[in-house]
Structure 1
Amino acid sequence: MIGSTLRAADLLPLGTIGLRTRPVRAALSAIGIAIGIASLVSVLGVTASSQADLLAQIDRLGTNLLTVADGQNIGGGEVPLPETAPTMIDRIDGVTAVAPTAELPAVHAYRTDLIPVVRTASLSVRAADASLLPTLDATLADGAFLSSATAEFPVAVLGAEAAARLGRTDRIWVSGHWFAVAGTLRPLPLAPEIDRSVLIGFPVANRLYGLDGPSRIYLRADTGQVEAVAAKLARTANPSNPVAVQASRPSEALTARLAVAQSGTGLFLGLGAIALLVGAIGIANIMVIAVLERHAEIGLRRALGARRRHIAAQFLTESILLGALGGTTGLALGAAVTTAIAYTRDLTPTVPPLALWTGLAAAITIGALAGLYPATRAARLAPTDALRST
C-alpha cells in the first residue's frame, strides 16, 4: 500500500465534516466553551470599565485633597477645631487652598415647617464659605454658590443628595428660620458629607445658631508635597491636642474601591474557569462519540492509504474548531454583556485586548487538549477492525 499525503488545504474541509453533518451536536458541545469565555471576558471587561471610571475620577478630582477633623462626639457629629486652625493650616508650606466648614449638630433642614423635627432625613446643616467651591473643585448643577454678600443672609446651597431628598423648592425650613435656596451642587465623590449637607454662610450660622468654630477643613496641597503637608496637619490644626485631630486623604477611599473590585474579580474568574472545564469535558465526550460513530469512515480512509497521523490530525482539527467556535461566540457574548452593563452604570465600555486574545487562545487550547485522546484513539484503529465493526 502506497502511503498517502495530506495537504494543509485539505485539513480544514476534513476537520469540518463532523461539524457540517451534526450541526446541533456541534453547537451544543461548543456552548460550554462559549459560556466560560463569555464569563471571563465580561468579568474582565466590567472590572476594567469600573476601574477606568474610578481612575478617571481620581485623576479628575486629584489625589492632593486632604481633610482635617477633630474627632467625633457621642452622637457621631464633628467636634469643633480651634478657630485659628484654618489660618494656621494655610501657612503650611505646600498648601495651595483651604476651605473651612462647620457642622451644626443641633440644626436640621426640612422642606416645610410642618415636618416633625425628628424626621431629619439624615441631612446635616453645615456652614461654609466661597472657598469651598474651588478647593473641592465642585460645580453647580444650578443656581449660584454662597458669596461674601449672601453669607450674611438666610441663603442656602444644597448638596446633591440633600437636593434629592428635599425636592425642588425655592426655600427650606432650617430649625426655626426660612432659608432661600440659591443653588444645588453636583455630586462630590471625594466629599460625600457635603452631598448630604445644606450649606449656609458662617455669619448667619453664628448669628442664628451660635456656631463655635470649624469642624472639618478641606485643603489642597502641591502634588509633590502631599505627604509632607499631611504629616504637619495634626500639630498645626490643634497644637494643644494633636492626637485628637484626624487627617485623611479622600482619594484613598476610591483606591480602596479598586482593590475591592479586583478581589471580587477572582471569584468570577474561577466560575468562568469551571465553565471552561465543563466545556472541555463536553468536547472530549462529543469527540469520543464521533470516533465510535465514524468507524466506517476511519476504516475506509485507512484502507485507501491514510496514515495514522492523518486520522489524528482530522479529529484534532475538528476538536480545535469546536473550541474556536465556542471561543469566538463567547468573545462576542462577553463583549455584548460588558457593553450592556457599562451603559446601565453610565460607564465607558472597556474590554481589555488581552482578555480577547487570551480568551480565544484558551478556547483553542482547551479544544486541542480535549481532542487529544479521541484523535489518538481514532488513529490507533486498524483498517480491518474499523471496517469489521460497521
Structure 2
Amino acid sequence: MGRWSEMSSPTALPNSSDLVEEHRRRIPPGHRERAEDTLRSARLRLSDLIRLGGYGLRSRPLRAVLSALGIAIGIAAMISVVGISASSHADLDRKLAKLGTNMLTVSPGRTMFGKQATLPDESVAMIKRIGPVQSATATGVVGTVHAYRNDRIPVAQTGGLSVVAAKLDLLTTVGAQLDQGVWLNGATDRYPAVVLGATAAERLGYGPTVYIGGRSWVVVGVLRKVALASELDTSVIMGWPAATTYLAFDGHPTTVYTRSADSQVEAVRGVLAATANPSAPNEVDVSRPSDVLTLRRATNAAFTSLLLGLGSVALLVGGIGVANTMVISVLERRSEIGLRRSLGATKGQIRTQFVAESLLLSMIGGAAGALLGYLVTGTYATTQKWPTVVPWWILAGGVGATVLIGAIAGLYPAIRAARLAPTEALAAT
C-alpha cells in the first residue's frame, strides 16, 4: 500500500524532459553520436525554405496582409517624402536652367592699340574641343549692310536693326523659340532666306520679304523674344554660307555662345580666351558666370541636406514599424516553435525557417511600398507639373533596409524561441 501511494503521488512522476534525457542516456554512445550528426546535418533546401515561409504566411493570411501593408506604408511614406522633394528640386533646377546659368559668351575685345580685334574663323571649333563644353555656336555681324522693308526706304533709316550670320545650332544653344515659320536648315542657309528677331519683325512689318544688300530676301521664320541673348531680338538672321556668298561676309564670329556643365563653368571661363584666340588671348572678352549659378548651387546644397535628413528620418520610422511588426509576428508563434522542436526540428532549422519567413514578408512589403511610393510621387508631381524624380538610391535603400531590418527583427525572437525547451515553449500557448 505504501509503495502504491508513493507511485501514485504527483511528485513521484518524472517530467518529460527527464524522460527524454533518460532515453538519451540509454542510447549507445556510437549510435547517439551518429544520430546527433544526422540531426545536425539535416538542412532545409532553399526551395523548401521558400515553400515553408510561404506556407507560414498563407496559414495566417489576414495577419500576413496587415503586416505587409504596415511595412509597405512605412516604405511608401519614406519614398514619397524623398521623391516629392526631389521632384520639386528638379523643377526648380529646370526653371533656373532657363535663366542661362551655364551659358558664357565670347566676343572680340580691343587690340593693344585700341582697335577692334577679331576672333579666328576656327574659334568655335576650338571651343567645342573643351571637355566640359556641351555646345557652342556663333553669330557674326555683317557690318556693311542693313535690312529694310523694301527698296524705297531711305538708307539712313536702319531702325537700329543689324544683319547677322548664324550657325544652324544657334536656337538650341541660346534657348530661342520660333513664334512662326521655320528655322534655317541645310538648304535655306545657303540661299537668300532670313529669320527675323521679335523686335525686327515688328519694325519691318512681318512682310514676306526684306531688302538687304540690293536684293530681296525671303522671310522664313520669326523668333520670340530671346531672354538669354536679347541682341537677337533686333537682328535679321541669315545662314553663314549665304552671308558669305551674297554679302561678302568675312566669316569672323562676333559672338560665341557656349553651354558648359554647371560644375565646370568657372573652369571653362578660365580657358575660353586662350582657346578662342591662342595667339592673342588678351584680345578676347569673356562674360562672367551668371549670379543665378551661385543661387542654384546654394539651393542644390540645401536640397541635398534636406533629402538626406528626410530620408534618414523616414527610414528610421519605417524601420521601427518593420521591426515592431516582425517581432510581434514571431513572438506570437512560440507555441508552433515548441511543437516543431518536440517533433525533432533543430534550433538552426527553427531560426532559418522564421528568418526566411520574415525575409519573404519584408520583401513583399518592401517591393509593394516602393511601387506605392513611386506612384504617389508620380501622381503628385504630375498634378504640380513637375518632372517625376525618384532617386534610385532611395528605392534600393528602402527595399534593402526593409529586408535587413526584417532579417534582424525575425532573427532575434527566433533565437530566443529556439533556445526554449519544447515543453516550455508549448506551455506558453
TM-score range, shorter chain: 0.5 to 0.7
The letter for the 2-side match of 1:23 is A
CA distance in 2: counterparts of 1:144 and 1:312, whole angstroms: 71
Aligned to 1:143: 181
Deviation at 1:16, TM superposition (A): 3.4
Matched, 1:157 2:227: no
Does 1 or 2 have the higher relative contact order (CA < 8 Å, sep 6+)?
A: 1
Deviation at 1:53, TM superposition (A): 8.9
Aligned to 1:185, which of 210, 223, 228?
Answer: 223
> Does the 8 Å CA contact 1:298/1:378 hold for their aligned counterparts?
yes
CA distance in 2: counterparts of 1:93 and 1:330, whole angstroms: 56
**Residues 261 and 346 of structure 1: CA distance in aligned 2, closer, same or farther (over 3 Å):** same
Deviation at 1:346, TM superposition (A): 8.4
Which structure has the greater CA radius of gyration?
2
Matched, 1:29 2:67: no
- Cα deviation 1:179-236 (Å, max 9, x = unaligned): 548744379xxx733379743459xxxxxxxxxxxxxx63158x99745246889842
Aligned to 1:236: 283
- Cα deviation 1:120-152 (Å, max 9, x = unaligned): xxxxx985533256473456352368999999x
Aligned to 2:213: none
CA distance in 2: counterparts of 1:269 and 1:126, whole angstroms: 53
CA RMSD of aligned residues (A): 5.6
> Does the 8 Å CA contact 1:312/1:379 hold for their aligned counterparts?
yes
Deviation at 1:357, TM superposition (A): 5.2
SS at match of 1:89: coil
Deviation at 1:282, TM superposition (A): 1.7
**Residues 40 and 371 of structure 1: CA distance in aligned 2, closer, same or farther (over 3 Å):** farther
Which one is further off, 287-296 or 300-309? 287-296
Matched, 1:301 2:340: yes
Deviation at 1:88, TM superposition (A): 1.7
Aligned to 1:99: 139
Over the matched positions of the two proteins, sequence identity in percent amounts to 33
- Cα deviation 1:2-28 (Å, max 9, x = unaligned): 775452233223323553311332223
> Does the 8 Å CA contact 1:158/1:184 hold for their aligned counterparts?
yes
Aligned to 1:219: 256
The letter for the 1-side match of 2:44 is R
CA distance in 1: counterparts of 2:277 and 2:77, whole angstroms: 49
Q: With structure 1 as the length reference, what TM-score do the two structures score?
A: 0.56
- Cα deviation 1:341-390 (Å, max 9, x = unaligned): 4898686x787877765554333223212323222222222222222222
The letter for the 1-side match of 2:180 is D
Aligned to 2:119, which of 80, 90, 109?
Answer: 90
Deviation at 1:324, TM superposition (A): 0.8
CA distance in 2: counterparts of 1:231 and 1:91, whole angstroms: 6
Q: With structure 2 as the length reference, what TM-score do the two structures score?
A: 0.52
Q: How many pairs does the alignment contain?
A: 308
CA distance in 1: counterparts of 2:409 and 2:160, whole angstroms: 65
Aligned to 1:7: 44
**Residues 286 and 330 of structure 1: CA distance in aligned 2, closer, same or farther (over 3 Å):** closer
**Runs of 5+ in structure 1 lacking a partner?**
71-80, 102-124, 160-169, 203-216, 238-244
> Does the 8 Å CA contact 1:335/1:351 hold for their aligned counterparts?
yes
> Does the 8 Å CA contact 1:41/1:334 hold for their aligned counterparts?
no
**Runs of 5+ in structure 2 lacking a partner?**
1-19, 21-34, 126-136, 142-158, 208-218, 238-253, 261-267
SS at match of 1:88: coil
